Amino acid sequence: MNENQRAKIVLKILNKTYPRTPIPLKHKNIFTLLISVLLSAQCTDLNVNNVTKNIYPKYYKPIHFVKLGRKKIEKLIRSIGIFRIKSKSVYNLSKTLVEKYKGKVPKTFEELEELPGVGHKTASVVMSQGFGLPAFPVDTHIHRLAQRWGLTNGKNVVQTEKDLKRLFPKKYWNKLHLQIIYYGREYCKARECYGITCKICTSCYPNRKKPFKTKKA
């Protein structure tokens, strides 16, 4: 079985398992989506949602966070991992949006990735989930699953993104990114499936007997 055949199996199972893909991070607008994605680094979506549900009803524009200042932002997101670094990014990001973009989130990868605290993965999530433009955000979880399913050789997340974009038609990217995340959380967990028990793993590799070791991003 080659990678194209495995990609077809993956797509078929994911479409059947998750016909609908709600965005896991709760947000009020594209700006709050950007903030939530930034906050979700090294932190669960659930934890981010629990914190932001008390923030976004009152603070949902860049100018709001500029007026709050770093110390108050720190207090608001204190229960989130590496909150000091993130509060600095949130403040500087908001300041840049106010000063350079009139409070609007820019709509290109180049401009997004120039914002404080925003990397390629964060920009990809905003482009796909916020603006609905084709993107394929790849985090460590998607990187792990793509290796298990034989869709990439696992050198790094950059290579994994290229491989997934090559294997799947552009029209599927935005939904597929979320489907893979949901499937990984429910069926192909890092310390439960090991590449030998879930439906995708057994369909793509019916003869695999030993746990599959993934290469870290």
Inside any domain, residue 103 = yes
Domain that includes residue 57, residue range:
30-130
CA angle centred on 143, ends 141 and 149, rounded to 5°:
100
**Residue 42, pLDDT score:** 85
In the numeric block, which tokens belong to residue 50?
């629990």
SS3 169: coil
CB atoms within 10 A of CB 144: 21
**Residue 213, pLDDT score:** 87
Residues 60 and 125 in one domain: yes
Inside any domain, residue 35 = yes
CB atoms within 10 A of CB 71: 9
**Residue 190, pLDDT score:** 87
Residue 170 is classified by DSSP as G
Mean pLDDT of the region 136-154 = 93
Residues 86 and 35 in one domain: yes
What pLDDT digit, counting tens, does each position of 156-200 carry? 999 999 999 999 999 999 999 999 999 999 999 988 999 999 999
Mean pLDDT of the region 119-147 = 95
Contacts of 131 (CB under 8 A, 6+ apart): 30, 107
> pTM score > 0.85 for this model?
yes
Residue 216 binned pLDDT confidence (cut-offs 50, 70, 90): confident
Q: In which residue are the tokens 């007026």 written?
A: 67
Residue 104 is classified by DSSP as P
Residues 126 and 191 in one domain: no
**Residue 81, pLDDT score:** 84
d(CA 29, CA 197): 39
Inside any domain, residue 198 = yes
Would the pLDDT of 154 be above 80? Answer: no
Mean pLDDT of the region 81-100 = 95
Inside any domain, residue 75 = yes
pLDDT, averaged across the chain:
95
Task: Report the number of distinct structural domains present in the chain.
Answer: 2
Residues 98 and 61 in one domain: yes
What pLDDT digit, counting tens, does each position of 39-83 carry? 998 889 999 999 999 999 999 999 999 999 999 999 999 999 899
d(CA 64, CA 66): 6
| Under 8 Å between Cβ of 177 and 189 | no
Inside any domain, residue 199 = yes
Inside any domain, residue 217 = no
d(CA 27, CA 57): 10
